[in-house]
Structure 1
Amino acid sequence: MGKMKKGEMDDYQLALISKSVFDIGPRTRTIMLMFGILGVTLALIRSLVSHRDVPLDKIIHFSGYFILSATFVLALRPRYFIPGLLAVIGLGVVIEFLQRLTGRSFDPRDMIANTVGIACGSTAGLVARGIYAFISREVAARKAHQRLHNFAKGDTLIREGDPIEDMFIIKQGRVRALRNINGRDTEIATLGAGEVLGILGVVEHKPQYATLRALEPTVVYRMSMGELMESAGGDELPVSLVLSGLSSKVRALADQLSQSGRSFNADSTIA
């Protein structure tokens, strides 16, 4: 990836807009957390069982706490890592003392095996999350790059009144938004890198609100309504209703200001 110019978005920033989550999904984390809780239960039961061969006992301690720590690091949000690992450590200490009730003596080597297992497991979990995040970012960035479109200075991205299905996110360059008012093209906004164009038409399923024309060589990313809803959490959330209500109010306000002849600073939402 070449050196990024001032006022330009890189592919990772576009990927963040098109799909905001690179971490392990919440449903997957929930399933992993359930396995972690099950593992805690099994570790508790297994540790309280009477005498076992010493070498096998230490392997079980190390392996069990390794898996538990790795699972919790993968399943929990980052801010819960330390509390979660402290809870696992505390559980290990409590179990070692409870073993006396089952006729087993306290063994410091069990504590060492537990600690090493927790350290190695949490490290493995962090490495796995890092690899997952890196691969996810790369895939999202490549998908974003494939939807880039180039426009020369003076090119029209879309005209007022044209049907519109995708929004435009400016990666590089500047775009002028023009609206026909009383038979004349009137500039209502000048937009730059990072701004999103065409939201009104896409959300309301209405024709494009303003003509968009490149003021200089411009690169834009096209984003569909489906991608927007996916990044917002899915169609099951009332995001579409909120967007529709807001966009209709913005369009009505913009029309009133335009017809009155008053100047106003239109942003990319209106364009």
Structure 2
Amino acid sequence: MNRKHFISFLAVGATCAAALVAPFAHAQDKFPSKPIQLVIPFAPGDTDNMLRPITDKMGEFLNQPLVMNYKPGAGGGVGAGQVAASKPDGYTLVGSSPGSIVVVPLANKDINYTTDSFTPVAALSEGVMMLVVPSSSPWKSVKDIVDHSRANPGKLTFSSSGNMGITHLLAEIFAKDAGVKLNHIPYAGSAPAITALLGGHVEMASTAIAPAQAHIKAGTLRPLAVFGDKRVKSYPDVPTLKELGYKVGSPTLYGLSAPKGTPREVVDALYAAAKKAT
């Protein structure tokens, strides 16, 4: 995977599906000599599911575990801020999509960090987002959503994994492209966002696929479309928003970042483990 691509990805806040390919040096033998704290700036159920299979393998290669700590809030800003303020020694990392690192500090004046507060380590996983509604919903297509929203501006409620998070932003881009206004209800992670949808507190959810899968399989949720330009193999009958005529979204990268000032040899050791794990 290309570290340069990941840095550019964070710098512009764009999504990409490039693999990281970069040279790396041998880290000092003393790192890591203790467990690495991996801050997940969202509630369990989305980002952690994307990263855990890879970070568990990284721990095996490093001979020290990456221990996930959940610090949700402010669209990922709470957890990311804690990592930005931590000692730059490689023992505290943040695992996230670029939304919490790039968009949140631009949109929230109370956030105490900037994109430059981090050193990108590696992109680990590619996530695809989708729009879902309850199976009992009268809406069976994106066209139904758009038609309803045009007739009832600002009435349709949708949940996301957090204000200014990737699921929120993609839904807002879709709404703008469709020329409609939606009513956003943020939650602290995709799992509670899905729970709210199932409980009838909102009418639609913009979510990563993983938290919705079991409910789609059980028949309680209906997928309307995926963000991106390619259909998902596990849902071949679900169209992409691109093929429906909307210019929104591509898969987003989930990766690891360290505080600014983390020694190069430490970043390289982490990257080497990530490369082996992926």
Shorter-chain TM band: under 0.3
Give the structure, 1 or 2, with the largest relative contact order (CA under 8 Å, sep 6 or more).
Answer: 2
**Which structure: larger Rg?**
1
Which has more strand, going by share of residues? 2
TM-score, normalising length from structure 1?
Answer: 0.22
Which has more helix, going by share of residues? 1
TM-score, normalising length from structure 2?
Answer: 0.22
